[in-house]
Structure 1
């Protein structure tokens, strides 16, 4: 909530003369006492008509005039002037605005706390407990039939009397339901979608109530009851935030999700399960997701270890990922989270969103596999397999990186697909194997030097930096490799053969230690 002159005029029912188009936030208040003042932005100055006439011209200023401004009063062109409709002294005006500033600050900090409880993924109970620490009154969440789904009572003063009876019965009594269902009252809530304060002889005490709405339909009600302390205007503002958060939490649960979201989740399950024909996939996806862009990617999220994800529900995490990426194409499939991302560029996500997602994934002990991009939606199962493969290979590598792209693992995936791993070394370049034998016998490190030299694009400086040696040492070793093993570094086929061999060495070293020759330590 922002505090501007327009907000002040509306909240206090005061007059406002707006001479400029500026809508600055009011961050501080200053009474004019005739002494020299340096004027600043975002400050509301308070004084009398005489003080107003002494204000400097030029830059726009915000001024609260304690005197009532009549039509006869000339307002300088650079002033936006607020004035009460009855008499107040300057100190009284200052006190009123300071109270409003304090209220806005409380609204901001308390709203932040409630949104943090939503993001935590700990569900409705966490949200209500956080709200309880703010409101210190009885909070109820009701279904459409006014049955109590969840509640949190004041710790200092638990509900008594009628409110206690309501809690014990688990249902809002019929006499109050009739009152709530009064057409005029329902119309206020539905059309304004604002919290409504209710206090009359038929209700058990003052309370605030609002609908939980989903696609225009009522899913339930939230109630803040005056069981411990009187409700304030700030409570009404904060309760709207609370209701929005509860409404979102309801929408993201499976039973209350948007119908198209549920249909999408079911469709993804059927596609990945191989239960649909090509035309069915195209027709159904075009119906519920017509706005998919040309290039598509599949993200698959899983926990880095079984122990990490043992007691963590996937649905809240799935929803949080959807919030970060701002997509509804995120669903739970078996024990994984699957997200379909479409883009106009070859980059799946903007860098800022990608970095935020990476931080979230890492902080939750997860790992994510990202497929190559594809254009035909029928390739979705293939892209899903790629992401799954990256997830599988990445877990076994035990690396710190949490976002893994398939193209960096495609060679390892190809090797993993071979049924007979025992013959892998037969595909390696014989020169490289001879070099390994030479290093073992002569205590040299030509094999490792060659690997880093090729990886660096045959850059001696980068290779030297990786090895922690002088560039001349690298050049000497490369020349020796050329002489001893007749290596032509300008032969692209030979370089590719070396690269493939190194990938095979790496694959065996990381995934199949039982096939690892003892001399492989020379590659470390």
Structure 2
């Protein structure tokens, strides 16, 4: 962390209100970064501008100027460098004459002894160093935004809010529950920036300023109750978060803004690290997943052991998507995969055997309606690629990475079945699992091996009556024995349906109240449809 003279002096005077400053300090001095604070040594030939020196002797002021010029001759440094870069503090109870101090001397009038004043400055400097250490450690641990705010509240002493690009509130200062600020309280209550505030910021061109320069400053008015500092943090040219600080402090603005920028820089470093870790871990994890596909018999125990070293949870709500398209050239495919990765952050996406494999982590409570959810999510991403013959094949949802290879086989088998897609790019294994099961068996004569004999008897009779019996029985089973629905589908009277169903039951000795009988008949119809012996 860069600790400047302004930071040290501002906090020092806030803690020691009895002390007074009797020197004019240049902007160069105030914003100069310090490596530490030291007592002014007796021999001053090797003083460094990177340190703040402390003394209680006025005499040393002129001596320091002379010694600095000896160490830094005019032909090496500009004549005024010693007068601007090097700073030292003189403690005293009485103000000196103006001629007794050089311009790089900072006189603090106080009754504190030199040791007490030096220790007070050291403590202030140490507080900033400790804050910086906590921020660095939070970055190392990938802490959440709320923790960054929590460890910064005492230092910054102003409320901070962090929003995502959609203006959802991600974290905020908890030390100001009764703050009289409509924007702050409404954001906390709603969990997002409300429409009225968004329109106000748009009118004030706050978002436009942040898009152009990365930051904006707002002044209080009838709507905005406090001045604020806003900063947009971008990672790889993509907006990541907005950070907002409300200026409610008595500290100078320049001081608060300096601390706020340290906070924002830490958030930026965190996001850069998370992005770099994500790219690195994604590459490692992609190789791990490809190895599972190459070796589908890998024992679950081995997968659990190996997954420990990958950024992937063994258990979760997963689904595999195999994407096939006419995008075959490697540069185009790489671009397409990167686009998918940018828009599907929580997914693992990689090229594999002529297609693109997506391990999708379904949100909780979306397992039952996952089809509609995935259609909605993927439509927005793929709508610009409608001319690239994209087809998506979905496995059944599964709950452990140990089932990943099997789920891939489910999705990829749909592609190999050359199904008629009927103008849709979405194909779900649960709609075709029986066809896959039948098609994967070695028997050539599927109907003999899998069909209910009564259906084969009707089929082979091939009379008007038997064909009608097949049609009525199929609709009766598909409509879950709801006679009115069957009659409507076949254009028959309900009583007529009852008569034919009773006849079929008696003639072929079929008990339609038995669920196993109904299951065998339905599966038999699917086999006949697969064998193209029954068209419906």
TM-score range, shorter chain: 0.3 to 0.5
TM-score normalised to structure 2 length: 0.46
TM-score normalised to structure 1 length: 0.47
